[in-house]
Amino acid sequence: MAKSTQRPVGRPRSEDVRDRVIGAADELLAEIGYLGMTMDEIAVRAKVSKKTLYRWWPHKTAVTAEVLVARADVRAIPDLDDTRAELLVVFDCIDELTRARDTFTRLCLIEAAADESGLLQSFLDVVLRRRDQARAVVQRGIARGDLPADIDADALLDLWNGFFVYRRSFRPAPVHKDTVRQLVELALAGQVPRLPAEGRGPSGSSG
């Protein structure tokens, strides 16, 4: 049975301890990666006892989640009054996110925490804030008449993010600017996933 991920009650966690643990884990992730890092190494590098470490973080997945939240930088996408330009900025954000050295770490983290719904909430909140910025661009494009009103924004963004993640993490290959421009032009031409018609299921059949 997995250990509880709830923070212990009582004396609040020392910010000095937190900073040292997060800093140590960040260094170890860069040096040996998520799979190679252990709680023992984090404790030694941070100069804290294993008892203290486990009091606040039940396993390395919890520590890693906090590292990624600390690193997170959610860039606002301004209203440029130009849907094409804004969609290219969305791609720049996806490119930046998937090019980061912790992309593989995030994938490992999500897999490791699949059965612990509360563990990654702070990290997932960051993901959702990024998604909200991109979704706002799609909504502005709809309002301008540049994108279909029934566009499935989440499906489109999943496809775009998935393309970059696959190219960067599973099939190392460059993502050409021409390819990005073509994907944007396809969206502007209406070649996008559509929401199901009202009263119909995802498959398009009624009932």
CATH number of the domain where residue 31 is located: 1.10.10.60
Q: Which two tokens stand for residue 97?
A: 């996110």
Residues 80 and 169 in one domain: yes
Residues 80 and 62 in one domain: no
Residues 175 and 97 in one domain: yes
Query: Has residue 85 got a pLDDT over 90?
Result: yes
pLDDT reported for residue 105 = 66
Residues 19 and 83 in one domain: no
pLDDT reported for residue 170 = 79
Tell me if 29 is assigned to some domain: yes
What's the chain's average pLDDT?
82
Supply the range of the domain harboring residue 60. 15-70
pLDDT reported for residue 82 = 98
* Distance (Å, whole) CA 109 – CA 7: 19
pLDDT reported for residue 199 = 40
The three-class DSSP label of residue 163 is helix
Encoded amino acid at 91, one letter: F
Query: Has residue 178 got a pLDDT over 80?
Result: yes
Residues 22 and 82 in one domain: no
Residues 114 and 178 in one domain: yes
Tell me if 38 is assigned to some domain: yes
In this prediction, residue 5 has a pLDDT band, given cuts at 50, 70 and 90, of: very low
- Residue 65 contacts residue 113 (beta carbons within 8 Å): yes
Residues 88 and 173 in one domain: yes
For residue 162, give the H/E element and its range: helix 153-165
Find the DSSP H helices in 4-152. 15-36, 39-46, 50-56, 60-71, 83-99, 103-112, 121-143
In this prediction, residue 102 has a pLDDT band, given cuts at 50, 70 and 90, of: low
- Residue 156 contacts residue 187 (beta carbons within 8 Å): yes
User: Which domain CATH number covers 82?
Assistant: 1.10.357.10
Compute the average pLDDT of residues 142-168.
94
Residues 57 and 82 in one domain: no
In this prediction, residue 76 has a pLDDT band, given cuts at 50, 70 and 90, of: confident
Percent of the chain with pLDDT over 70: 76
Range 96-107 burial, b when 16+ CB lie within 10 A, else e:
ebbeeebebbbe
